[in-house]
């Protein structure tokens, strides 16, 4: 039996063997608790017929657990220094492929068609580097990949924002951008003590299940997100003030903005955080002709 990678002793042994030092700039925090890894993999609900895409495998702690529970794992690792370590730690597993590439620059569609031919069930499972969590998730969703969903570990504060409901202080344009494509739920809180080195913040595991189709149907997705970002630009301001100060030449078009708000039954004095995604959908469609 291979000893699990994700124990403090084994992790230290591996790092020492390769003289590996953590790079702050890459947000490297390795998990050293096998139970938590098992739970992350449980939340992904993989079968022997599933494929798993991982981002930032580190020394392979999560990769190993995914390899045991799925048909194939493909992991993207940006740090060249980790490639020989992964080749060593994951040598017992024939169903793992490491791609030395930045996920944000990668053509993930292409990788999926090459690496997961014939695999119908595909999940992204990752302990994401905190400094690029949001761009990575948004890219994976905007690229419309043929995945069932994403289970990832990220900063608790970001998880709270992603899963937030209207009317809460965490709810914002990020909640809307992600809930537009997925159902989002925080499934587990993870203390900082189970990482090496320890991060300064607590983490959470979030599960995003892709919707069959987006939660609202809009004429222009990009414009919907532009409207939501504008509506949250200054949280204390009303929706009318935010839209007229943030949308291009919004001040001159204030009358049209008021008309669109009235037409969609939205009180101009409300704040962005009180609007549901459906209301934002109706509003962006009503504003589209004025701004596009």
Cis peptide before 197 (omega within 30 of 0): yes
CATH number attached to the domain at 221-291: 1.10.8.100
Q: So what's the pLDDT on residue 2?
A: 63
Q: So what's the pLDDT on residue 240?
A: 97
Q: Are 172 and 148 in contact (CB under 8 A)?
A: no
Write out the chain's pLDDT in tens, 292 residues: 567 899 999 999 999 999 988 776 666 788 999 999 999 999 999 999 999 999 999 999 999 999 999 999 999 999 999 999 999 999 999 999 999 999 999 999 999 999 999 999 999 999 988 888 999 999 999 999 999 999 999 999 999 999 999 999 999 999 999 999 999 999 999 999 999 888 888 999 999 999 999 999 999 999 999 999 999 999 899 999 999 999 999 999 999 999 999 999 999 999 999 999 999 999 999 999 999 8
Q: So what's the pLDDT on residue 167?
A: 95
The answer to the question of whether 259 is labelled as a binding residue is no
CATH 1.10.8.100 segments of the chain? 221-291
Among 282, 244, 291, 242, residue whose Cα is nearest residue 264: 282
The alpha helices in 70-166, defined as continuous H runs, are 83-89, 108-115, 133-142, 156-162
Q: Are 251 and 291 in contact (CB under 8 A)?
A: no
Biggest CA pair distance of the chain: 71
CATH 3.40.50.150 segments of the chain? 8-210
CATH number attached to the domain at 8-210: 3.40.50.150
Helical (H) or strand (E) element with 52: strand 50-55
The alpha helices in 185-276, defined as continuous H runs, are 221-231, 239-246, 254-263
The answer to the question of whether 127 is labelled as a binding residue is yes
The answer to the question of whether 172 is labelled as a binding residue is no
* Alpha-carbon span 190 to 153, nearest angstrom: 9
The answer to the question of whether 31 is labelled as a binding residue is yes
Q: Report residue 70 CA to chain centroid gap.
A: 21
Query: 34-44 and 61-69 helices cross at what angle (nearest 10)?
Result: 50
The answer to the question of whether 212 is labelled as a binding residue is no
Q: So what's the pLDDT on residue 200?
A: 86
pLDDT tens per residue across span 94-128: 999 999 999 999 999 999 999 999 999 999 999 98
pTM over 0.85: yes
Q: So what's the pLDDT on residue 29?
A: 83
């Amino acid at each position: 039996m291979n000893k699990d990678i994700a124990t403090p002793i084994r992790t230290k042994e591996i790092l020492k063997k390769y003289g590996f030092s953590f790079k702050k700039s890459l947000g490297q925090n390795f998990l050293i608790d096998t139970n938590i890894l098992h739970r992350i993999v449980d939340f992904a609900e993989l079968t022997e017929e599933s494929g798993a895409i991982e981002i930032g495998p580190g020394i392979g702690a999560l990769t190993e657990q995914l390899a045991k529970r799925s048909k194939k794992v493909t992991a993207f690792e940006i740090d060249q220094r980790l490639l020989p370590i992964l080749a060593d730690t994951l040598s017992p597993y024939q169903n793992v492929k490491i791609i030395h590439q930045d996920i944000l620059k990668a053509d993930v569609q292409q990788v999926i068609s090459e690496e997961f031919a014939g695999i119908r069930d595909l999940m992204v499972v990752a302990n994401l580097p905190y400094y690029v969590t949001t761009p990575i998730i948004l890219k994976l969703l905007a690229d419309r990949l043929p995945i069932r969903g994403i289970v990832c570990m990220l900063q608790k504060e970001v998880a709270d924002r992603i899963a937030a409901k209207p009317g809460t202080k965490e709810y914002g344009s990020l909640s809307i951008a992600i809930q537009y494509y997925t159902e989002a739920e925080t499934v587990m809180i993870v203390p900082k003590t189970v990482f090496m080195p320890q991060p300064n913040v607590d983490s959470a595991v979030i599960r995003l299940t892709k919707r069959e189709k987006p939660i609202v149907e809009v004429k222009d997705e990009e414009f919907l997100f532009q409207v939501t970002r504008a509506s949250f630009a200054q949280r204390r301001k009303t929706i009318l003030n935010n839209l007229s100060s943030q949308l291009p030449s919004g001040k001159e078009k204030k009358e049209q903005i008021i008309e669109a708000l009235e037409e969609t039954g939205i009180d101009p004095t409300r704040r962005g955080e009180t609007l549901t995604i459906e209301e934002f959908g109706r509003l962006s469609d009503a504003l589209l002709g004025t701004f596009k």
